[in-house]
Chains A and B, each alone.
Chain A
Amino acid sequence: MSDMDEMEDGSGIVKKFMFLNRKAPHGTVYALEGLEVVLITAAFDQDVSMVFTDDGIYQLMKGIDTKGIEVKDFSRTYRALEGYDIEKLYVDQASLDARGLTEDDLIVDVTVLSVDEMANLMVEQDVVISF
Chain B
Amino acid sequence: MLHIVNKSATERSTLESCLRMATKGSAVLLIEDAVYAATNGNAAAAKIQAAAADLKIYALGPDLAARGMAGRVLDGVNVVDYGGFVDLVAEHSNCQSWL
Interface residues of chain A, those whose CB is within 8 Å of chain B, are: 20, 22, 30, 53-54, 94, 115, 118-120, 122-123, 125-128, 130-131
Contacts and interface: CB of A to CB of B under 8 A. Distances in A.
A54 B93 CA distance: 24
Q: How large is the interface on B (under 10, 10 to 19, 20 to 34, 35 or more residues)?
A: 10 to 19
B10 interface: no
A30 B17 CA distance: 18
B94 A128 contact: yes
Interface string B16-52: 0100111100100000000000000000000000000
Contacts, number: 36
Interface string B64-99: 000000000000000000000000000001111111
Contact of B94 (A30, A120, A127, A131): A127
B20 to A, nearest CB: 6
A119 B22 contact: yes
A96 B13 CA distance: 16
B95 A94 contact: no
Contacts of A54: 13, 17
